[in-house]
Chains A and B, each alone.
Chain A
Amino acid sequence: MPRSLPLAALLALAAAACKREGAAPSEDRPARPAVSLQGAGATFPYPLYSKWIFEYGKQRPEIRVNYQSIGSGGGIRQLIERTVDFGATDAPMTDQELAKASGRIVHLPTTLGAVAVTYQVRGLEASSLQFSPEALAGVFLGEIARWDDPELAELNPGVPLPAEPITVIHRSDGSGTTAIFTGYLAKVSPGWNEKVGAGKSVRFPSGLGAKGNEGVTGQIKSTPGSIGYVELAYARQNKLPVAAVRNRAGRPALPTLEAVSAAAAAFTGSLPEDLRLSIVDPPAESAYPISSFSYVLVYEQQPDPVKGQALVDFLWWAIHEGQAMAPQLDYAPLPEAVVRKVEEKLRSISPSKRPSPLQGEGSWP
């Protein structure tokens, strides 16, 4: 019977495979993770989250976390549909979105993001430009249309601003970066608030749209006289020229990690109970004014106790040990007071009331 020959070979192979698999449990670490957590959402914190997932996986190999950076909107949708265990977003969920969810959703700040204003102006490669909130809004509204505008010249004394038109480059894709930036402009400029407003996608009154941070950077690089905004980590890693923006105290602030953490720290006294808070235009001397929390979103009632516990453990680790990894990836760490608030929130997540004892004791308050 020639037909049974391949079948026999297949059986033999299968038997061999079984044997090898049977040998695995003798190792001290379990071969397969016991819990698998699915997350989806914002692209902005993705490099940091994947670093966390990698490092955490080394400590707790039985917990596997998957994070897909499909965008904040997609993350929120999937969380509402309960197809993921946690979502992630840069801009907090709106009341309307929260109302659609089938349970209470908790906002947990994990890190801080900021938006840097970058530009390419002939002859100004070395110097850092300075903007007032009004001037920045004027440029993006198209009202300040030339680099040698008296308002810009007054802000930048001694800087040889060229007599060239300004080309605004903005994000064309919906993004948390745009939400933070337009949120800032809407707060500091009544004209912007009235004509454009704030959101992940807005109707920009002037300029060109480019896709992604890399698209904005690319168009700025190939367009002399252009100005745009990108997320801070991106600007730092690509060594783009960044502008200083005058904060509420009237001081010019460069987007440094310290200045971003300072912006969040300025609000710790007035943190709302649900932690949904815009931290643009903070009342602090050293703060950079265009920044925001980046959140992980979880349901307060976790349907699966094992998964829920694993999720709390992971997030607990992320807001403690994980914060130390933030600066090297150009993310600003959370201020201590915010970490305390997030701890409170994590304890409120049921069925787990506290991080499991497996967690590093050193991080207990």
Chain B
Amino acid sequence: MAVSVTALGRLSLPRRLAPAFWGEAHLGDRAFRLCTAAFAAGALLTLAALALQMTRASALSLRRFGPGFVLGTEWDPVRESFGALPFLFGTVVSSALALLIAVPVSLGAAIFLSELAPGWLRSPIGFLLELLAAIPSVVYGLWGIFVLAPWLRDTVQRPLSGALGGLPFFSGTPRGFGMMAGGLILAIMVLPTIASVSREVMRAVPVGLREAALALGATRWETVRHSVLPSARSGLVGAIILGLGRALGETMAVTMVIGNRAEISASLFEPGYTMASVIANEFTEAAGDLYLSSLAEIGLLLFGVTLLLNALARLLVWRIARLPDGARRA
């Protein structure tokens, strides 16, 4: 993802002045430049082609439902009545839930690994953490079905429902499968991404900053709080965005535990449905033109949501980068 790469780059790499695009005299350099420019253009063109193709594929549904599609709450293939709101809700809520759980945990892990852990412990833990990111999502999903969901039902949801069942978030029958399981499995999946990128970002903070803080008599916590975290800020936001990207697009593992019902419910026990899941579930067997077109529009919407959230995040990174240093404020 572009956001975090630039964020990283800004921190650790010295900015080099790019030579003028056509100014290079050497033939090899020019060929090289053209070649790489073509690759970069290829990525952009693919994106544009994708957006165009999806818009064309969803033309029928766009015409039929108009903007009401986004706010429609019914998804009934038999009666060809389609609305995207339950999926939009499911995607946003499950991803938000995932970040809510994963961000504190992974930042904590990153701080421990980069600042506090003894040297001999750092690389094995770091390695294992990255290994977690390499597990295929279907494996997470299977684990979710057979371990996570029953555990959630018996050890988390039953007591919660007993103690806080009056709250809308914890009402309904505890089944294990549902929005809570979806958010939790996403949290576990994005954790290694956020943690390992954050650790790299914090490692890139110059040692001098830490030493200066320590020399002033700061404790370990104060050093981290006032010199490491502020300098790493924009990189950390980048890491979180990277995690968010994975959460928004994750399909298989979520589908296997979220319950797949196109309904909006405040309760975390109730099943939900995400945009990526409904496409994966229904596309292969969707026969009607309007049905296919509506699924394509869901894809377009997911594309839009991802783009929007990334743009917002990018803005956030810019804002943060321009803020005065937290260390100075404190």
- Indicate which residue in A73, A167, A176, A223 contacts B286 across the interface (CB closer than 8 Å): A73
Q: Is B284 an interface residue (CB 8 A)?
A: yes
Specify which chain B residues have a CB less than 8 angstroms from the CB of A167 in the assembled complex.
173, 175
Which residues in window 224-279 of B have CB below 8 A to A?
255-256, 259-262, 271, 273, 277
- Indicate which residue in A73, A94, A197 contacts B78 across the interface (CB closer than 8 Å): A197
Residue contact B285 to A196, C-beta cutoff 8 Å: no
Specify which chain A residues have a CB less than 8 angstroms from the CB of B261 in the assembled complex.
204, 207-209
Specify which chain A residues have a CB less than 8 angstroms from the CB of B77 in the assembled complex.
174, 199-203
Nearest-CB residue, chain B, relative to A178? B285
Specify which chain A residues have a CB less than 8 angstroms from the CB of B282 in the assembled complex.
173-174, 201
- Indicate which residue in B78, B177, B287 contacts A208 across the interface (CB closer than 8 Å): B177
Bound-state Cα–Cα, A211 to B259, Å: 9
Which residues in window 194-246 of A have CB below 8 A to B?
196-204, 207-211, 215, 218-219, 221-223
Residue contact B78 to A203, C-beta cutoff 8 Å: yes
Q: Is A74 an interface residue (CB 8 A)?
A: yes
Specify which chain A residues have a CB less than 8 angstroms from the CB of B273 in the assembled complex.
209
- Indicate which residue in A72, A94, A173, A222 contacts B149 across the interface (CB closer than 8 Å): A222
Q: Identify the B interface with A (CB < 8 A).
A: 74-79, 142, 145-146, 149-150, 153, 173, 175-178, 255-256, 259-262, 271, 273, 277, 280-282, 284-288
Specify which chain B residues have a CB less than 8 angstroms from the CB of A176 in the assembled complex.
285
Nearest-CB residue, chain B, relative to A217? B145
Residue contact B173 to A200, C-beta cutoff 8 Å: no
Nearest-CB residue, chain A, relative to B173? A165
Specify which chain B residues have a CB less than 8 angstroms from the CB of A96 in the assembled complex.
288
Chain A's nearest CB lies how many Å from the CB of B165? 15
Nearest-CB residue, chain B, relative to A96? B288
Residue contact B256 to A215, C-beta cutoff 8 Å: yes
Bound-state Cα–Cα, A198 to B310, Å: 40
Q: Is A66 an interface residue (CB 8 A)?
A: no
Chain B's nearest CB lies how many Å from the CB of A220? 10
Interface size on A, as a range, is 35 or more
- Indicate which residue in B78, B255, B277 contacts A199 across the interface (CB closer than 8 Å): B78
Bound-state Cα–Cα, A168 to B150, Å: 16
Q: Evaluate whether A208 and B260 lie within 8 angstroms (CB atoms) in the complex, with A74-B284, A200-B285, A219-B177 already known.
A: yes
Residue contact B255 to A76, C-beta cutoff 8 Å: no
Instruction: Encode A163-184 as 1/0 by CB contact (under 8 A) with B.
Output: 0010100001111100000000
Q: Identify the A interface with B (CB < 8 A).
A: 70-74, 76-77, 94, 96-97, 165, 167, 172-176, 196-204, 207-211, 215, 218-219, 221-223
Q: Evaluate whether A173 and B284 lie within 8 angstroms (CB atoms) in the complex, with A199-B77, A208-B259, A211-B256 already known.
A: yes
Chain A's nearest CB lies how many Å from the CB of B89? 16
**17 A-B residue pairings within 8 Å (CB atoms):** A71-B284, A97-B287, A165-B173, A174-B284, A175-B285, A197-B79, A200-B77, A200-B285, A203-B76, A203-B77, A208-B261, A210-B256, A215-B145, A218-B142, A218-B145, A222-B145, A223-B175
Residue contact A198 to B78, C-beta cutoff 8 Å: yes
Bound-state Cα–Cα, A218 to B288, Å: 30
Residue contact B256 to A72, C-beta cutoff 8 Å: no
Specify which chain A residues have a CB less than 8 angstroms from the CB of B178 in the assembled complex.
208
Nearest-CB residue, chain B, relative to A100? B289
Specify which chain B residues have a CB less than 8 angstroms from the CB of A211 in the assembled complex.
255-256, 260, 280-281
Residue contact A222 to B287, C-beta cutoff 8 Å: no
Residue contact B76 to A173, C-beta cutoff 8 Å: no
Residue contact A172 to B173, C-beta cutoff 8 Å: no
Bound-state Cα–Cα, A55 to B261, Å: 42
Chain B's nearest CB lies how many Å from the CB of A281? 19
The winner among A96, A97, A198, A218 for most chain B CB atoms within 10 A is A218
Q: Evaluate whether A174 and B286 lie within 8 angstroms (CB atoms) in the complex, with A202-B78, A203-B78 already known.
A: yes
Chain A's nearest CB lies how many Å from the CB of B154? 10
Chain A's nearest CB lies how many Å from the CB of B328? 53
- Indicate which residue in B74, B150, B260, B287 contacts A172 across the interface (CB closer than 8 Å): B260
Specify which chain B residues have a CB less than 8 angstroms from the CB of A201 in the assembled complex.
77, 281-282, 285-286
Chain A's nearest CB lies how many Å from the CB of B203? 40
Specify which chain B residues have a CB less than 8 angstroms from the CB of A199 in the assembled complex.
77-78
Specify which chain B residues have a CB less than 8 angstroms from the CB of A73 in the assembled complex.
284-287
Bound-state Cα–Cα, A165 to B280, Å: 30
Residue contact A210 to B260, C-beta cutoff 8 Å: yes
With A73-B286, A173-B280, A174-B77 given, name 20 new contacts (CB 8 A): A73-B285, A77-B287, A165-B173, A167-B175, A172-B255, A172-B281, A173-B282, A174-B284, A174-B286, A175-B285, A199-B78, A200-B77, A201-B77, A203-B74, A203-B76, A208-B175, A208-B177, A209-B261, A211-B281, A215-B256
Residue contact B146 to A173, C-beta cutoff 8 Å: no
- Indicate which residue in B173, B262, B284, B288 contacts A203 across the interface (CB closer than 8 Å): B262
Nearest-CB residue, chain A, relative to B76? A203
Nearest-CB residue, chain B, relative to A199? B78
Bound-state Cα–Cα, A44 to B159, Å: 41
Specify which chain B residues have a CB less than 8 angstroms from the CB of A209 in the assembled complex.
259-261, 271, 273, 281
- Indicate which residue in B79, B177, B255, B285 contacts A174 across the interface (CB closer than 8 Å): B285
Chain A's nearest CB lies how many Å from the CB of B37? 31
Chain A's nearest CB lies how many Å from the CB of B108? 31
Bound-state Cα–Cα, A76 to B291, Å: 15
Nearest-CB residue, chain B, relative to A165? B173
Specify which chain B residues have a CB less than 8 angstroms from the CB of A221 in the assembled complex.
146
Bound-state Cα–Cα, A203 to B83, Å: 12
Bound-state Cα–Cα, A199 to B285, Å: 10
Specify which chain A residues have a CB less than 8 angstroms from the CB of B259 in the assembled complex.
208-209
Residue contact A223 to B176, C-beta cutoff 8 Å: yes
Chain B's nearest CB lies how many Å from the CB of A26? 45
